[in-house]
A and B are shown apart, each in its own frame.
Chain A
Amino acid sequence: MYVAVKGGERAIEHAHRLLAAERRGDPEVPELSLAQIEQQLGLAVDRVMTEGSLYDRELAALAVKQARGDLIEAIFLLRAYRTTLPRLGASQPLDTDRMVVERRISAIFKDLPGGQILGPTFDYTHRLLDFDLAGARAGEPAPPATVGEVADAPEALPRVVDLLDREGLIERESPGDGTGQVGDLTRGPLTFPAGRDIRLQNLARGDEGFLLAMGYATQRGYGRNHPFAGEIRVGEVTVELAPEELGFAVEIAAIAVTECQMVNQFKGSATAPPQFTRGYGLVFGGAERKAMAMALVDRALRCRELGEEPSSPTQDEEFVLSHSDNVEASGFVQHLKLPHYVDFQSELVLVRDLRAGQGGSSPR
């Protein structure tokens, strides 16, 4: 029994083999290809890329496959790969004005330049299980998608917040410290107070479920900030890099992103006229729910900067930013599985002594 308690090399080896077999499942069933995952489980791939902080659809699909569909495990796999990659530089800020838009909606204007573009959304589907997907017709191609009159999409779609900005109705976005330097949580420790760059990076990497709950809590009064979905746009943007030795920017990639601009409660003072405020969310791919939650939480965490008295955990920077990361959280929660029998033995010794001191029974 002594050996059984202390695991050992063979146990680990066997566990790994068993895991591989479980992952594969019944060998009679054809194996999933990465292309199938990337194409048909695209939103899972998007989430893994977003929270894994690495834009690579194929690697994310591989991670989803290897993790048996456990997306947090897949995010962990992608992060552990990412950490080995060299950092070549920082891109120019993404210009989402010039996004090739697939979806663009605003909840605050009925119509606006560029129009409302619904795009491929679950929003108005009836959540009825589609048994056609399960049955004999499952192999048939989907009906061809028809695109409406937006075929000649404009060169650039102005952002709704910029339209408000022209009238001075919304606060100006501060352009940063002018150095173009942004912090990087994956290179340096999180310290408080965190700048907005670090906060947004933290939230973009943060767990979707955690942010969803935090964002939801703000709507229910825990740090309420009266949000309107000013604009959500989904589509492709180009990534530009300006190498020092070159002196100008070159396009290095086109990536799919979802951007959410929340327009929040206005504020004014004796000297400044009332203005709406902003919350911002940006994620890879089509993780729209996450982008919206992120924008709500970003706005909640701006409370001090905007002179609001923080009254709830959703406005508490340390609380939110320290607990948003699902790879950290998952690890620390699950490390309770590791042996703790030394510390527990110490507790046993103490509890028995205390009970003996009180005349309680102490089985030996």
Chain B
Amino acid sequence: MSYNFAYLDEQTKRMIRRAILKAVAVPGYQVPFGSREMPLSYGWGTGGVQVTASVIGPADVLKVIDQGADDTTNAVSIRHFFARTTGVATTTCTEDATLIQTRHRIPETPLRPGQIVVFQVPIPEPLRWLEPREVETRKMHALEEYGVMYVRLYEDITRHGRVAQTYEYPVIVNGRYLMRPSPIPKFDNPKLDRCPALLLFGAGREKRIYAVPPWTTVKSLDFDDHPFEVEHWDRPCGLCGARGVFLDELIVDDKGGRLFICSDTDYCSRRQADHPGQAGHP
């Protein structure tokens, strides 16, 4: 017995592609779909895997990252899954990939037209922490009733002097739908705006798909006197010396010693190869 190309049967793929088409047609809108039970655990990227399985073709070149890295266990596991069920070429190089499945990051290397990025989404509903009921949040989206989100951000400002949301920072897509950009750090939010690649978001357990088509405006919520800003580090990457990229923090000894390195392993390792001896000195 063998499985179909990319595991899912063609009827299921068709159903998911229809949901994707609808999602592309209404940017930022969460389309319910008949999410299937997958041979990997809910929370491990079942939504992303279903979206990838539905759009992948034999000519695709697949990259899978988790936390920006190609070699984290779950990224390895998902890449294996598709290598085994499709036989497509895989890569760690962002430029070479036609299809990138990601959890929690957008690569540092700028995306290009024709690429598709598939995000794994745990909780698709941006209003969920403000209103637990799906019946209510769907109504709020229909009526474009997003005042509560602004109030929530404003409460942060009164309490902390700034917005204290650091990841899954809410955005407005195409001037209409409030969207939760999966739990990427807000550092990556600007990469969503007018992105040349097609961005697809799959939430398996919650059975929702949404999308940001290429070149769509994506605005992070903010206020005139408190403009949106991203996190920054006051040092470069300890391995490649890059600045202005997202850094992971490693604790390297039991005396509080720390090393800050690029979370994007492909970006970092290619910089090290291209510019040896550039390592920052923490």
Is residue B21 contacting chain A, with contact meaning CB distance below 8 A?
no
Closest to A186 in B: B37
Do A341 and B248 touch (CB < 8 A)? yes
Do A2 and B261 touch (CB < 8 A)? yes
Q: Which of B38, B249, B256 contacts A83 (CB 8 A)?
A: B38
User: In the complex, which residues of chain B have a beta carbon less than 8 angstroms from the beta carbon of A270?
Assistant: none
Closest to A193 in B: B135
A341 to B251 Cα, complex, angstroms: 12
Is residue B166 contacting chain A, with contact meaning CB distance below 8 A?
yes
How many Å from the CB of A217 to the closest CB on chain B? Answer: 18
Do A189 and B205 touch (CB < 8 A)? no
Q: Binary interface profile of B, 183-201, with partner A (CB < 8 Å = 1, else 0)?
A: 1111100000000000000
Q: Which residues of B, 185-244, contact A by the 8 Å Cβ criterion? A: 185-187, 205, 207-208, 231, 233
Do B231 and A349 touch (CB < 8 A)? yes
Do A349 and B37 touch (CB < 8 A)? no
Stretch at the interface among B28-36, B51-59, B109-117, B273-281: B28-36
Closest to B1 in A: A84
- Knowing A188-B34, A332-B42, the reply to whether A7 touches B73 (Cβ < 8 A) is yes
User: In the complex, which residues of chain A have a beta carbon less than 8 angstroms from the beta carbon of B68?
Assistant: 342
Is residue B250 contacting chain A, with contact meaning CB distance below 8 A?
yes
A335 to B47 Cα, complex, angstroms: 14
Is residue B147 contacting chain A, with contact meaning CB distance below 8 A?
no
Is residue B146 contacting chain A, with contact meaning CB distance below 8 A?
no
Stretch at the interface among A8-16, A223-231, A286-294: A8-16
Do B183 and A343 touch (CB < 8 A)? yes
Closest to A187 in B: B34
Do B34 and A342 touch (CB < 8 A)? no
A339 to B36 Cα, complex, angstroms: 24
User: In the complex, which residues of chain B have a beta carbon less than 8 angstroms from the beta carbon of A1?
Assistant: 250, 252
User: In the complex, which residues of chain A have a beta carbon less than 8 angstroms from the beta carbon of B134?
Assistant: 192, 318, 322
Is residue B43 contacting chain A, with contact meaning CB distance below 8 A?
yes
How many Å from the CB of A351 to the closest CB on chain B? Answer: 9
Closest to A1 in B: B252
A318 to B125 Cα, complex, angstroms: 15
A9 to B134 Cα, complex, angstroms: 39
Q: Which of B33, B67, B164, B186 contacts A354 (CB 8 A)?
A: B164
A349 to B231 Cα, complex, angstroms: 7
User: Which of B133, B186, B208: most chain A CB closer than 10 A?
Assistant: B133
A9 to B104 Cα, complex, angstroms: 20
User: In the complex, which residues of chain A have a beta carbon less than 8 angstroms from the beta carbon of B46?
Assistant: 331
Q: Which of A12, A82, A333, A345 contacts B247 (CB 8 A)?
A: A345
A: number of interface residues (CB 8 Å) = 50
Do A189 and B166 touch (CB < 8 A)? no
- Knowing A339-B66, A350-B166, the reply to whether A345 touches B185 (Cβ < 8 A) is yes
Closest to A338 in B: B74
Do A340 and B104 touch (CB < 8 A)? yes
Q: Which of B103, B133, B205 contacts A318 (CB 8 A)?
A: B133
A47 to B39 Cα, complex, angstroms: 20
Closest to B251 in A: A1
Is residue A363 contacting chain B, with contact meaning CB distance below 8 A?
yes
A327 to B43 Cα, complex, angstroms: 10
User: In the complex, which residues of chain B have a beta carbon less than 8 angstroms from the beta carbon of A5?
Assistant: 250
Do A191 and B32 touch (CB < 8 A)? yes
Is residue B71 contacting chain A, with contact meaning CB distance below 8 A?
yes
How many Å from the CB of A340 to the closest CB on chain B? Answer: 7
Is residue B167 contacting chain A, with contact meaning CB distance below 8 A?
yes
User: In the complex, which residues of chain A have a beta carbon less than 8 angstroms from the beta carbon of B186?
Assistant: 346
Do A12 and B76 touch (CB < 8 A)? yes
Is residue A79 contacting chain B, with contact meaning CB distance below 8 A?
yes
A340 to B184 Cα, complex, angstroms: 10
User: In the complex, which residues of chain A have a beta carbon less than 8 angstroms from the beta carbon of B250?
Assistant: 1-2, 5
Q: Which residues of B, 99-157, contact A by the 8 Å Cβ criterion? A: 103-105, 122, 132-135
User: In the complex, which residues of chain B have a beta carbon less than 8 angstroms from the beta carbon of A190?
Assistant: 207
A12 to B75 Cα, complex, angstroms: 11
User: In the complex, which residues of chain B have a beta carbon less than 8 angstroms from the beta carbon of A191?
Assistant: 32
Do A346 and B166 touch (CB < 8 A)? yes
User: In the complex, which residues of chain B have a beta carbon less than 8 angstroms from the beta carbon of A327?
Assistant: 37, 42
How many Å from the CB of B137 to the closest CB on chain A? Answer: 11
Do A357 and B161 touch (CB < 8 A)? yes
How many Å from the CB of B265 to the closest CB on chain A? Answer: 7
- Knowing A5-B250, A328-B42, the reply to whether A189 touches B67 (Cβ < 8 A) is no
Closest to A349 in B: B231
Do A338 and B166 touch (CB < 8 A)? no
Is residue B263 contacting chain A, with contact meaning CB distance below 8 A?
yes
User: In the complex, which residues of chain B have a beta carbon less than 8 angstroms from the beta carbon of A363?
Assistant: 256
Closest to B80 in A: A9
Is residue A6 contacting chain B, with contact meaning CB distance below 8 A?
yes
Q: Which residues of B, 62-89, contact A by the 8 Å Cβ criterion? A: 66-69, 71-74, 76-77, 80
Do A12 and B104 touch (CB < 8 A)? no
Q: Knowing that A7-B73, A327-B42, A332-B43 are A-B contacts, what are 15 other residue pairs whose CB atoms are under 8 Å apart, sorted by A's residue number? A: A6-B265, A84-B3, A86-B9, A186-B37, A188-B34, A322-B134, A330-B41, A331-B43, A338-B103, A339-B66, A341-B67, A343-B183, A350-B164, A354-B164, A364-B258
B residues in contact (CB < 8 Å) with A: 3, 9, 32-39, 41-44, 46, 66-69, 71-74, 76-77, 80, 103-105, 122, 132-135, 160-161, 164, 166-167, 183-187, 205, 207-208, 231, 233, 246-250, 252, 256, 258-259, 261, 263, 265
A residues in contact (CB < 8 Å) with B: 1-2, 5-9, 11-12, 76, 79-80, 82-84, 86, 186-193, 318, 322, 327-328, 330-335, 338-343, 345-350, 354, 357, 363-364
**8 A-B pairs with C-beta separation under 8 A:** A12-B77, A83-B38, A186-B36, A189-B33, A189-B207, A191-B32, A318-B135, A342-B67
